[in-house]
Amino acid sequence: MEDCVFCKIAEGRIPAKTVYEDESVLAFHDMAPKAPVHVLVIPKRHAENILAARALDDSSLAHLFRTVAEVAARLGLDKTGFRVISNCGADACQEVGHLHIHILGGKKLSPKID
Ligand code: AMP
């Protein structure tokens, strides 16, 4: 989608520090990390947020979440734990309107998530 920053990253039009890539999913480091490890996992195909999951096929969704687990393990977070967040809409302060899963870890995170 034109004017979507994560579509541009998926298309290679904006640089990103890629952690993992395949034909349908991309994982890259967040440019303003909130933890020692802060990676975003996105479907390359544009979808606004998790609400769009209702329109995605099951295998795409399964692949997205399996990739989250795979990326976390590759980063060593399977040994220590990590947090997975997907902000959706205004009350969650979603900044980028392209479905993305945050992976946060590398330190003991706050028990608060709000
Ligand atoms: P949110 O939409 O609030 O769930 O968060 C969007 C996240 O995307 C923020 O943590 C930003 O730091 C991150 N972000 C925005 N633009 C870029 C970019 N070009 N490269 C990497 N991370 C980005």
Q: Which residue's alpha carbon is at the smallest distance from atom 17 of ligand 1? A: 31
Pocket of ligand 1 contains residue 32 by CB under 6 Å: yes
For residue 74, what pLDDT is reported?
97
The terminus-to-terminus CA distance of the chain in angstroms comes to 30
* Catalytic residue flag (residue 102): no
Residues facing residue 38 across a β-bridge: 104
DSSP symbol at 11: T
Atom of ligand 1 nearest to the CA of 92: 3
The pLDDT of 81-95, averaged and rounded, is 98
**pTM strictly above 0.95:** yes
- Determine the distance separating the centroid of ligand 1 and the alpha carbon of 64, expressed in angstroms: 18
Summarize pLDDT for 1-10 with one digit per residue, the tens.
889 999 999 9
Q: At residue 53, does pLDDT exceed 90?
A: no
| pLDDT tens readout for residues 17-50 | 999 999 999 999 999 999 999 999 999 999 999 9
